[in-house]
Amino acid sequence: MDWWVSLPKVELHAHLNGSIRDSTLLELARELGDRGLVCFPDVECVILKHDRSLTEVFKLFDLIHILTTDHETVTRITKEVIEDFAAENVVYLELRTTPKKNASKGMTKKSYMEAVLEGIRAVNTVEVDIFSEPNFDCPANAGIYARSDGCARNGTAKKKIYVRLLLSIDRRETTEAAMETVKLALEMRHLGVVGIDLSGNPVIGEWLTFLPALEFAKEQGLLITLHCGEVPNQVEIHAMLDFLPARIGHACCFGEEEWAKLKSLKIPVEICLTSNIKTETISSVDIHHFADLYNSGHPIVLCTDDSGVFSTSVSGEYSLASSSFGIQKREMFQLARNAVNFIFAGNKVKLELEQVFDLAAKSLE
């Protein structure tokens, strides 16, 4: 097997609806086309186009959401996305998604998330741990525990993936809608929800709109990651860093002052190389801020962002970083392993992941 696939990996920045297989999107589009609800050839062209500006990416998401926002499809894509990450040896996945309402399908934010959980339970190519923290001892977890150790029963040593969920607030949402998402996350903590993400089109919405919900989430012990600095907006970048999120994503449009602040605060950065290059947020990989952050020992983790939309994979991102910045496999292994420190799950999971890396270290040398 390819070394980059064999390498155990931790994925901390993956959007559910951005990680769908093209084949699934095309199948869904064809079905809606047959029912006269979309024009299939037009949709096919959009899905198969590979280089998109950041603005075009958000238009694509609106289209993807038309194809996917019913319970059955949300369950299907969740199952497939987890199986795809597991197939390339992602051992811990923090999957983020924006809970959505769709009145025409009787969908509420809660029922959307229940459909996601159904998708997690449906995974059958790999053993899934979606909840194994001892500090949330709740009867509602009984079924989940069973799912987590189900493969041990017949003695087959199936591969295992830890999956945790982040609920995303879309920058188009109001303060009330953001608060609804945070309350839902709190309600679902015993089901593997570990944090909140702020994402969506970075030129839409104001930081102050989301701040009350994010502060409430933080007070309640949820961990927060913010899409930060995807466009030049120094005021917002400073406000976001002052909020002290547990991680940020991207950090593309930082100036000297913002770098200094980020580095002194040691906030881990989720780096999405292919996404940044394809959306032209960064003009070429050789000038990507990965190099400076890596060389200065700043906490970073390589991620895909939207493996479907940007036709990439976690293995591909590790291979790209290695070839672009001349980093040897031994150091890349260490980079993958360091990501364990930045996961939102607790110490028990961290210790178990350390063991996974210890084992892999022997076989990958």
Sequence-ordered list of residues with C-beta below 8 angstroms from that of 256, at least 6 positions apart, any chain: none
Q: Is 63 or 87 the residue whose CB approaches ligand 5GP more closely?
A: 63
DSSP letter string, 298-350: --EEE--B-TTTTT--HHHHHHHHHHHHT--HHHHHHHHHHGGGG-SS-HHHH
Q: Is 49 or 159 the residue whose CB approaches ligand 5GP more closely?
A: 49
Q: CA 268 to CA 294: how far, in whole Å?
A: 11
Q: Is 89 or 98 the residue whose CB approaches ligand 5GP more closely?
A: 98
Min CB(146)–ligand 5GP separation in Å: 27
Contact 161, 93 (CB under 8 A): yes
**Binding stretches for ligand 5GP (CB under 6 A):** 15-18, 61, 97-98, 168, 170, 199-200, 202, 227, 230, 275, 305-306
Min CB(128)–ligand 5GP separation in Å: 18
Min CB(116)–ligand 5GP separation in Å: 9
How far from 8 is each of 3, 89, 96, 337, CA to CA, in Å? 10, 5, 20, 8
Q: Is 189 or 278 the residue whose CB approaches ligand 5GP more closely?
A: 278
Q: Which of 214, 227, 224 is nearest to 245 (CA)?
A: 224
Q: Which of 343, 273, 269, 342 is nearest to 307 (CA)?
A: 273
The kind and range of the H/E element at 96 are strand 90-97
Q: Is 97 or 313 the residue whose CB approaches ligand 5GP more closely?
A: 97
Min CB(297)–ligand 5GP separation in Å: 26
Min CB(237)–ligand 5GP separation in Å: 14
Instruction: Name residue 162's beta-bridge partners.
Output: 92, 129
Catalytically active residues are 230
How far from 87 is each of 33, 58, 160, 202, 236, CA to CA, in Å? 31, 28, 10, 32, 38
Q: Is 243 or 333 the residue whose CB approaches ligand 5GP more closely?
A: 243
Min CB(5)–ligand 5GP separation in Å: 24
Q: CA 360 to CA 232: how far, in whole Å?
A: 40
Contact 23, 308 (CB under 8 A): no
DSSP letter string, 177-227: HHHHHHHHHHHTGGGTEEEEEEES-TTSS-HHHHHHHHHHHHHTT-EEEEE
